[in-house]
């Protein structure tokens, strides 16, 4: 797997497939570029895919708080692109993909956003969800305030781990997840406060690229609120729901998600 400087940050990446269309894959928090393997097997005939490890993930360099995390990841992503490309992002990676389309539209051919965790968009669309959402995230928030990263990791996965059993995770893997909790926290200003300004008037409406928003039928309630809010403002957006899936659907339901992606790409 190659490694080099992207936007001045030591970044690792890998490639999948030999299809006629170029695609860039941007994974979720706590994952790595290899997490796209389940989908890549089904997309390899259609896409020539590049997937990079986010800062502090996989084999990329540790995150050093050099800048705002989402914006820095957008700059890294942009350095992989030389022309219009299909961008596929999951969770935090999907918010990076959306911001890339807003800030560098000339580099984006289409967007596939898998469960974008753009909480500000969901709460703007459905403010009545705030109390329940805050309650769901409270154990993570409280653990981080207390400096207990292991408890924070367990609480975070309880909401966003797609049903992962914490007791089944090995001690070394738990320690790795706990060490990454500050990176999760570093992304929160973009997700909760929209520091990238994506919700500013006219910015989403200016995205002229086709967008596919995919969610799992078993995902937290905030997810359909987010996709509903984004679909209402993106001019060329459509939604798809994967039955029986939750937040980690690219890993758990790779075939079904890939089928939706291929259908979308054929039509656009």
DSSP string, 221-266: THHHHHHHHHHHHSTTEEEEEETT--TTHHHHSHHHHHHHHHHHHH
- Ordered by where they begin, the domains of the chain are 3-125+193-267 (3.40.50.1820), 127-186 (no CATH)
As a whole number, the mean pLDDT across the chain is 97
Cα separation, 241 vs 264, in Å, equals 13
Q: pLDDT tens digits, residue range 34-45? A: 999 999 999 999
Cα separation, 32 vs 82, in Å, equals 23
Torsion of CA 138, 151, 247, 74, to 10 degrees: 90
pLDDT on residue 268: 87
SS3 of residue 5 by DSSP: strand
Cα separation, 39 vs 43, in Å, equals 6
Residues 153-163, mean pLDDT to the nearest whole number: 95
- Region at 222 (left for phi over 0; alpha for psi -120 to 50; beta for the rest): alpha
**Cβ atoms within 10 Å of 220's Cβ, excluding its own:** 22
Give phi and psi for 168, each to the nearest 5.
-90, -5
Cα separation, 177 vs 61, in Å, equals 16
Residue 191, pLDDT > 80, answer: yes
Cα separation, 89 vs 116, in Å, equals 8
Counting residues of the chain whose pLDDT is more than 70, the rounded percentage is 100
pLDDT on residue 151: 98
Cα separation, 39 vs 22, in Å, equals 15
The answer to whether 180 and 205 have CB atoms below 8 angstroms apart is: no
Bridge pairing between strands 237-242 and 211-216? parallel
Bridge pairing between strands 47-52 and 9-16? antiparallel
pLDDT on residue 169: 96
- Whose tokens are 């309880």? That residue is 158
> What is the pTM (predicted TM-score) of this model?
0.97
Give which of 264, 260, 238, 236 is closest to 249, Cα–Cα.
260
Q: pLDDT tens digits, residue range 62-119? A: 999 999 999 999 999 999 999 999 999 999 999 999 999 999 999 999 999 999 999 9
Residue with more model confidence, 268 or 73: 73
């Amino acid at each position: 797997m190659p490694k080099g400087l992207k936007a001045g940050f030591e970044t690792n990446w890998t490639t999948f497939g030999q299809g006629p269309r170029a695609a860039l894959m941007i994974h979720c928090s706590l994952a790595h570029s290899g997490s796209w393997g389940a989908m890549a097997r089904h997309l390899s005939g259609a896409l020539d895919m590049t997937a990079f490890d986010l800062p502090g993930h996989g084999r990329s360099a540790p995150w050093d708080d050099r800048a705002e995390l989402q914006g820095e990841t957008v700059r890294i992503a942009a350095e992989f692109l030389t022309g219009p490309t299909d961008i596929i992002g999951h969770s935090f990676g999907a918010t990076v993909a959306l911001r890339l389309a807003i800030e560098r539209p000339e580099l984006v051919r289409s967007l596939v956003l898998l469960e974008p965790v753009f909480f500000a968009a969901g709460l703007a669309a459905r403010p009545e969800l705030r109390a329940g959402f805050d309650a769901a995230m409270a154990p993570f928030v409280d653990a981080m305030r207390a400096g207990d990263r292991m408890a924070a990791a367990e609480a975070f996965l309880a909401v966003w781990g797609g049903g992962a059993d914490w007791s089944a995770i090995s001690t070394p893997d738990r320690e790795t997840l706990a060490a990454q909790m500050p990176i999760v926290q570093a992304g929160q200003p973009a997700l909760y406060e929209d520091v990238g300004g994506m919700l500013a008037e006219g910015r989403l409406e200016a995205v002229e690229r086709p967008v596919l928003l995919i969610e799992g039928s078993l995902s937290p309630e905030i997810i359909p609120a987010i996709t509903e809010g984004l679909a209402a403002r993106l001019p060329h957006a459509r939604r798809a729901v994967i039955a029986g899936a939750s937040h980690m659907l690219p890993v758990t339901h790779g075939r079904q998600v890939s089928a939706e992606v291929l259908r979308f790409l054929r039509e656009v």
